[in-house]
Structures are given as structure tokens and as C-alpha cells.
Amino acid sequence: MAKNILCLSGPNLNLLGSREPDKYGTATLGAIEQKLGVQAAMAGSKLTCFQSNSESQLVDRIQQAAQQSVDFILINPAAYTHTSVAIRDALAAVAIPFVEIHLTHIRAREPFRHRSYFSDLAVGVVSGLGPQSYELALSYALDHAGKD
């Protein structure tokens, strides 16, 4: 059965490509999402991508996912990883399985990035592999979405 996967990206990820390229690389979010779209289409699944700098918009999008029969969420909460009880609670409320994604290896960065409000609820975390963090998370979702 076709899987319905939602990929969420948080604040400042719209600047990928030009944002601190030494840390985040030179691929734009558009390029990363386009590649994910091809990967999902080849597996016969539907992928919807959404980026926002706003915590409330991310919470709203997660709440909508429950009504839209989303099977699996991929989320890079960006800076909200380390601060957002609201996004964590939204994910817990909809109870849709999700993978937490980071381009950088957050545990190897500043101490304030070591805490995540998401990891203990996530099916898994892919961190530090650049754009491949997204691709590997999608690959997992394509294999496992819809199965319990």
C-alpha cells in the first residue's frame, strides 16, 4: 500500500546552502527535498515536505497530519530540538511514528545541543550524516511505515 510520509524542517533550514556551509554543507533544502521526492516516488509512496521558522506552524502541521492519514513523520526540528515542549507534545498527541533528523552530529557540538526533547519519543535518530541523514530516515520510513 502507498505510504503517506510527511517531512518537516524547522527554523533556519530554509537557509541551507548558504548557512554556515562548513557545518551544514552546500545543498539547499529544495535540493534535499527534491531527492527525497524521487526516492519516495520510486517506492510508490507520497512525500509531503514542509519547512517553517515558526513553532506554532510546525505544531499545526503535526496536528493536521493526524487528519490526513500520515503514516510516518520525518522531522528535523532544528533549534527547536533543544527547546520545544510544544512540538514534542504535538508529536506525542498524534502518536504518528517519527524519526528525528539532524544534518550535524549534535552530540559532538556545543553542550546546549546535546539535549533533545524528541529523541526518547522517536523511533530513531539520524544525526551527523549531512543530507544523507534525511535519505536514510526516509529509507527507514519507506520500509516500516504502516507496520506496527
CB 119 within 8 Å of CB 126: no
The site map against ligand DQA for 18-57 (x = CB under 6 A) is ----------------------------------------
Residue 77 to residue 88: CA distance in whole angstroms? 10
3-state DSSP assignment of residue 99: strand
102 is a catalytic site residue: yes
Residue from 36, 40, 73, 103 in contact with ligand DQA (CB under 6 A)? 103
Pick the closer one to ligand DQA by CB: 67 or 111. Answer: 111
Among residues 19, 3, 24, 2, which one has the least CA distance to residue 134?
24
Q: How far is the CB of 104 from ligand DQA (least distance, A)?
A: 3
> Which of 3, 61, 88, 102 touches ligand DQA (CB under 6 A)?
102
Nearest to 103 by CA among 132, 137, 130, 75: 130
Q: How far is the CB of 11 from ligand DQA (least distance, A)?
A: 7
99 binds ligand DQA (CB under 6 A): no
DSSP SS3 for 41: helix
Sign of CA dihedral 100, 12, 67, 142: negative
> With binding defined as CB under 6 A, does residue 75 bind ligand DQA?
no
Residues that bind ligand DQA (CB under 6 A): 12, 76, 78-79, 81, 102-104, 106, 113
